[in-house]
Structure 1
């Protein structure tokens, strides 16, 4: 049952003020920190590995454990935001992230660094759903909310490429510890602005469904852990299939528990909304090709074109700029055009950029004719689809459920990214039948085609299934 008094006191005012837009800046900054922290650390990984004498198997856990705790605690974070209050949970998440970023900056050993990264993932899982729910509370449904969501999503979508560049610059100029020092300073700055800028947020007079939270968290962590092992140990290794089998059991148990829980962590009624179902599918089929390309592109540019890590990061910068523009265009036309056309067209543009243009990259390629066109086309698609699917993920969902609804969509994004990239790596390895550069590139091209096929299938399903009167 909703606390109506809280809704009246803390709901969005009739007129959006400058303070409302300042609150959006704070929330978007929090999202940029959560998203960009993955990329900014990627650039520092080789130096971190040398400093602590970490082999590749241990080094990957600085990324994999962040992803595991982030994906694993998202649903819990969304439910906590709805029950305990959005501002409180956002501040708690940013506080945990800040403390763990500081611990990573002064980490004396590899073990401390890996644990600190896991803590950062937990903090991001708490702050992320709360921030999206606060955006929808601050801006009333309609054109203003669509514009706000466009700004919010464009910042999130472009922060990955920005993080790659920032990480390379900081590591080259000041060393790897400066990466975590900057994360600490920026997240602390966001945290200090929370109380004075953000509303407290709505809350539910319900329980947390701790049993469901435990099953979902353990299941999602096991799934991401297993997929992380697949990239280094293969799918037949016990360290891969055992966690994945456990994930199936745990998530199956979660589904059964939620059906009988009086106050479920994830109310199945959310899926009665056709836009929510479309947004969930779109999240998976969006992030499989996009993150797949962002995995293979640096390997191609550094391994075959001779780019430095910083140069390969700069080569991706146009992606962030184009996404920001196209997402804001999508936000302005969303009310008039509708969610589904933007999602479908965005997925098809992603498929064209990845499957039609990146498959033409040669061993001795050049940036302007071979790299930039694919980046440009898929980036337009990202901006169109991401803004629309974010709006769709909350459509027809009561305001007091926006925390868990947003968490559901981000969980789908994470699973699409982690499971999808692992599957594309498997496709690439299977298609690489030789040990030379041409064979490796054939593997990359096969992965691009597979990722594009996923996006096309997603677009077709969303286009053909019933959606709702708004489209």
Structure 2
């Protein structure tokens, strides 16, 4: 059945709503507890270095299982895996909402990440099934990307509002409600269909996931244990690459990385999430800890970033992509993300929101709005249609590695100073420099798209 035929039998508006809703759950899942971090820390008596694991536990499993999720969607059927992933995410959110201690909360967050990793690649593949190639699909992708780009900062705002008025557990209860709503509309809005057959490369999936986990653990610790984790990550990465070269059904077809646009999009994804998620990790700590904002006020303070992301992605970037190459918009976006993050180096102990906080938020938000749809488009350019799901998963893997490793590294950079605010400033500087260097690399990417 062709995409056009599928679209004629489905309700495309409902389908886009279901898929965008699931994407919003997945992306906001990383940031929705961000504004609640001080409250979570107070409840469980956690320091900043331990608090990062509330975010990282989700990010590392999300990234680690994404390629598995993409492969399972092809083998078992996209809607089936999509539904299962949303159900796992929702069930884990329920467990987190009633968590009696830190370990249960962190475990629930890790399982949420697995659920998001299962539903995410299937959602992108389903979108290409429902909407035929051409202007209709381009518009759907634009809306889908805009929702994804705005969901993290929007999740931070939502988390602040819910934490202020209903407590931090209400943030997870809200995820339960949205997850149930998405599941209830899935059968009516999305096409079914059987999987394409094949098998899951279990050794490759295990070695790749372990490599990522050890990488994040190493970045989050110090001393000899960090080097041991990095060495372990390198060993499992080598095993993963060797396995993917040999197997007939790889989790990750390594030929994808011969496509220059895939490489550029992956770098852009990594750096966007490193800068934006790192910035938003420190935002509630600064706004609530030093400016004495309430959780609601700190969430409200981030609205300009969310608005900038959504408006730019939905109304500007699509038009620019008709004229400029994605790599050009990615490079400009990274410069703006890095510049907006670096601007927060001016934040003093008793700063002004309009003078010290707002400019960086707006500039970073516009940069994210330019970069997110551009990297989504670039990540599929030059890739055969049957590999679009795994190519999309590769891009989201880069996002989540950027989020987890980026936050961990920025926390370590901040810890190098005895003064807390100076440490924050050093972290902002590091992220700004990384984004600027990445923009240069993306801008110099070969214009010719090789074939995978």
The alignment's TM-score, normalised by the length of structure 1, stands at: 0.88
Aligned to 1:323: 309
Q: 379, 396, 405: which is aligned to 1:393?
A: 379
Q: 412, 419, 426: which is aligned to 1:426?
A: 412
Query: Contact between 2:79 and 2:191, CA under 8 Å: does it hold in 1?
Result: yes
Residue 56 of structure 1 and its aligned partner are, at CA, apart by 6.5
Query: Contact between 1:142 and 1:335, CA under 8 Å: does it hold in 2?
Result: no
Query: Contact between 1:101 and 1:116, CA under 8 Å: does it hold in 2?
Result: yes
1:294 matched to 2:280? The reply is yes
Deviation digits for residues 28-57 of structure 1, max 9, x if unmatched? 111111121232223334444555566767
Q: 425, 432, 447: which is aligned to 1:467?
A: 447
Deviation digits for residues 395-417 of structure 1, max 9, x if unmatched? 22222222211111111111122
Query: Contact between 2:78 and 2:195, CA under 8 Å: does it hold in 1?
Result: yes
Q: Which 5+ residue runs of structure 1 have no aligned equivalent?
A: 1-8
After TM superposition, the structure 1 = structure 2 runs for residues 5-154 of structure 1, keeping only pairs within 5 Å, are 9=1, 11-13=3-5, 19-51=11-43, 60-154=52-146
Aligned to 2:344: 358
Query: Contact between 2:270 and 2:402, CA under 8 Å: does it hold in 1?
Result: yes
- Alignment size in residue pairs: 449
After TM superposition, the structure 1 = structure 2 runs for residues 167-182 of structure 1, keeping only pairs within 5 Å, are 167-182=159-174
2:291 counterpart SS class: coil
Residue 201 of structure 1 and its aligned partner are, at CA, apart by 5.8
Separation in structure 2 between the aligned mates of residue 445 and residue 59 of structure 1, nearest angstrom: 19
1:349 matched to 2:341? The reply is no
Query: Contact between 1:65 and 1:225, CA under 8 Å: does it hold in 2?
Result: no
Residue 259 of structure 1 and its aligned partner are, at CA, apart by 0.9
Q: 426, 430, 434: which is aligned to 1:450?
A: 430
Q: 271, 277, 300: which is aligned to 1:314?
A: 300
Aligned to 2:175: 183
1:262 matched to 2:268? The reply is no
Separation in structure 2 between the aligned mates of residue 202 and residue 395 of structure 1, nearest angstrom: 26
Q: 334, 342, 348: which is aligned to 2:321?
A: 334
Describe the shift of the 1:53–1:449 C-alpha distance in structure 2 as closer, same or farther (beyond 3 A). closer
1:236 matched to 2:238? The reply is no
Describe the shift of the 1:15–1:404 C-alpha distance in structure 2 as closer, same or farther (beyond 3 A). closer
Deviation digits for residues 49-68 of structure 1, max 9, x if unmatched? 55556676765544332222
Describe the shift of the 1:218–1:274 C-alpha distance in structure 2 as closer, same or farther (beyond 3 A). same
Residue 425 of structure 1 and its aligned partner are, at CA, apart by 2.8
Query: Contact between 2:383 and 2:391, CA under 8 Å: does it hold in 1?
Result: yes
Q: 194, 201, 213: which is aligned to 1:209?
A: 201
The alignment's TM-score, normalised by the length of structure 2, stands at: 0.91
Describe the shift of the 1:92–1:242 C-alpha distance in structure 2 as closer, same or farther (beyond 3 A). same
Aligned to 1:5: none
Residue 391 of structure 1 and its aligned partner are, at CA, apart by 1.1
Residue 103 of structure 1 and its aligned partner are, at CA, apart by 2.2
